[in-house]
Amino acid sequence: MPITLETLHSELNLKLLTPESDLSREVTAGYCCDLLSWALAHGGTGGVAWVTVQTHMNVVAVATLLDMACVILPDNIDPEPDALQKANDESIAIFKAEQNAYALCGQMWAMGIGQANRS
Protein backbone atom coordinates (compact mmCIF):
# COMPACT_ATOMS: atom_id res chain seq x y z
CA MET A 1 0.00 0.00 0.00
CA PRO A 2 1.51 3.35 -1.01
CA ILE A 3 2.37 5.95 1.59
CA THR A 4 0.81 9.31 0.83
CA LEU A 5 1.31 12.81 2.18
CA GLU A 6 -1.93 12.29 4.13
CA THR A 7 -0.34 9.26 5.81
CA LEU A 8 2.77 11.27 6.69
CA HIS A 9 0.59 14.11 7.94
CA SER A 10 -1.35 11.90 10.32
CA GLU A 11 1.28 9.33 11.35
CA LEU A 12 3.98 11.90 12.13
CA ASN A 13 1.56 14.47 13.55
CA LEU A 14 2.75 17.13 11.11
CA LYS A 15 1.25 20.58 10.73
CA LEU A 16 0.37 21.33 7.09
CA LEU A 17 1.40 24.88 6.20
CA THR A 18 0.15 24.74 2.58
CA PRO A 19 -3.53 23.82 2.99
CA GLU A 20 -4.25 23.54 -0.73
CA SER A 21 -1.64 20.79 -1.19
CA ASP A 22 -2.63 17.47 -2.74
CA LEU A 23 -2.27 15.09 0.20
CA SER A 24 -3.02 12.09 -2.02
CA ARG A 25 0.46 12.41 -3.55
CA GLU A 26 2.60 9.33 -3.01
CA VAL A 27 5.81 9.51 -0.99
CA THR A 28 8.39 7.26 -2.62
CA ALA A 29 11.48 8.09 -0.55
CA GLY A 30 12.94 10.35 2.10
CA TYR A 31 15.94 12.64 2.18
CA CYS A 32 17.52 14.80 4.88
CA CYS A 33 19.96 17.55 3.96
CA ASP A 34 20.46 21.23 4.66
CA LEU A 35 22.92 22.10 1.90
CA LEU A 36 20.81 23.05 -1.12
CA SER A 37 23.41 22.22 -3.77
CA TRP A 38 23.89 18.79 -2.18
CA ALA A 39 20.15 18.17 -2.05
CA LEU A 40 19.88 19.23 -5.70
CA ALA A 41 22.63 16.80 -6.70
CA HIS A 42 21.63 13.86 -4.47
CA GLY A 43 18.06 14.33 -3.26
CA GLY A 44 16.42 12.12 -5.85
CA THR A 45 13.46 13.02 -8.01
CA GLY A 46 9.73 12.57 -7.77
CA GLY A 47 7.85 11.81 -4.58
CA VAL A 48 10.65 12.55 -2.10
CA ALA A 49 9.87 13.86 1.39
CA TRP A 50 12.73 16.26 2.16
CA VAL A 51 13.61 17.11 5.77
CA THR A 52 15.58 20.36 6.11
CA VAL A 53 16.04 23.29 8.48
CA GLN A 54 16.36 25.69 5.55
CA THR A 55 13.35 28.00 5.34
CA HIS A 56 13.91 30.32 2.39
CA MET A 57 12.53 30.44 -1.13
CA ASN A 58 15.44 28.48 -2.64
CA VAL A 59 14.24 25.38 -0.79
CA VAL A 60 11.02 25.55 -2.77
CA ALA A 61 13.00 26.01 -5.98
CA VAL A 62 15.01 22.84 -5.33
CA ALA A 63 11.89 20.90 -4.33
CA THR A 64 10.15 22.07 -7.49
CA LEU A 65 13.08 21.20 -9.77
CA LEU A 66 13.24 17.69 -8.30
CA ASP A 67 9.45 17.26 -8.22
CA MET A 68 9.62 16.44 -4.50
CA ALA A 69 6.41 15.49 -2.71
CA CYS A 70 7.02 17.77 0.25
CA VAL A 71 9.38 19.66 2.49
CA ILE A 72 9.29 18.93 6.22
CA LEU A 73 10.70 21.53 8.63
CA PRO A 74 11.75 19.97 11.95
CA ASP A 75 11.90 21.53 15.43
CA ASN A 76 8.79 23.69 14.88
CA ILE A 77 10.68 25.88 12.42
CA ASP A 78 8.53 28.33 10.45
CA PRO A 79 9.28 29.01 6.78
CA GLU A 80 9.84 32.51 5.50
CA PRO A 81 6.54 34.01 4.25
CA ASP A 82 7.75 34.38 0.65
CA ALA A 83 8.85 30.71 0.63
CA LEU A 84 5.44 29.65 1.86
CA GLN A 85 3.73 31.67 -0.87
CA LYS A 86 6.04 30.19 -3.51
CA ALA A 87 5.32 26.67 -2.21
CA ASN A 88 1.59 27.33 -2.61
CA ASP A 89 2.19 28.66 -6.14
CA GLU A 90 4.29 25.62 -7.09
CA SER A 91 2.06 23.04 -5.34
CA ILE A 92 4.82 21.90 -2.99
CA ALA A 93 3.49 20.74 0.37
CA ILE A 94 5.31 22.17 3.37
CA PHE A 95 4.91 20.62 6.79
CA LYS A 96 6.18 21.68 10.20
CA ALA A 97 7.08 19.06 12.80
CA GLU A 98 7.72 19.15 16.52
CA GLN A 99 10.31 16.38 16.16
CA ASN A 100 13.93 17.01 15.24
CA ALA A 101 15.32 15.85 11.88
CA TYR A 102 16.85 12.69 13.33
CA ALA A 103 13.56 11.55 14.86
CA LEU A 104 11.58 12.37 11.70
CA CYS A 105 13.90 10.34 9.50
CA GLY A 106 13.78 7.41 11.91
CA GLN A 107 9.99 7.53 11.97
CA MET A 108 9.79 7.68 8.17
CA TRP A 109 12.20 4.73 7.91
CA ALA A 110 10.06 2.76 10.37
CA MET A 111 7.02 3.49 8.18
CA GLY A 112 8.82 1.82 5.28
CA ILE A 113 9.95 4.95 3.46
CA GLY A 114 13.38 4.20 2.05
CA GLN A 115 16.15 6.56 1.05
CA ALA A 116 16.10 8.65 -2.10
CA ASN A 117 17.97 7.27 -5.09
CA ARG A 118 21.28 9.05 -5.20
CA SER A 119 22.53 10.31 -8.51
- How far apart CA 96 and CA 79 sit, in angstroms, is 9
- How far apart CA 111 and CA 68 sit, in angstroms, is 18
| Total number of domains in the chain | 1
Residues 66 and 47 sit within 8 Å (Cβ to Cβ): no
pLDDT digits (tens, 9 = 90+) for 33-68: 999 999 999 998 889 999 999 999 999 999 999 999
Name the pLDDT band for 111 (thresholds 50, 70, 90): very high
Give me the pLDDT at residue 118, please. 63
Name the pLDDT band for 119 (thresholds 50, 70, 90): low
Give me the pLDDT at residue 99, please. 97
Position 36 in a domain: yes
- The pTM of the full predicted model, rounded to 2 decimals, is 0.95
pLDDT digits (tens, 9 = 90+) for 55-106: 999 999 999 999 999 999 999 999 999 999 999 999 999 999 999 999 999 9
Q: The domain containing residue 12 runs over which residues?
A: 5-110
Position 119 in a domain: no
Position 12 in a domain: yes
CATH number for the domain that contains residue 9:
3.40.1390.20
Residues 13 and 72 sit within 8 Å (Cβ to Cβ): no
Mean of the per-residue pLDDT values of the chain? 94
- How far apart CA 5 and CA 70 sit, in angstroms, is 8
Position 63 in a domain: yes
Residues 51, 27, 9: CA angle, nearest 5 degrees: 70
Position 118 in a domain: no
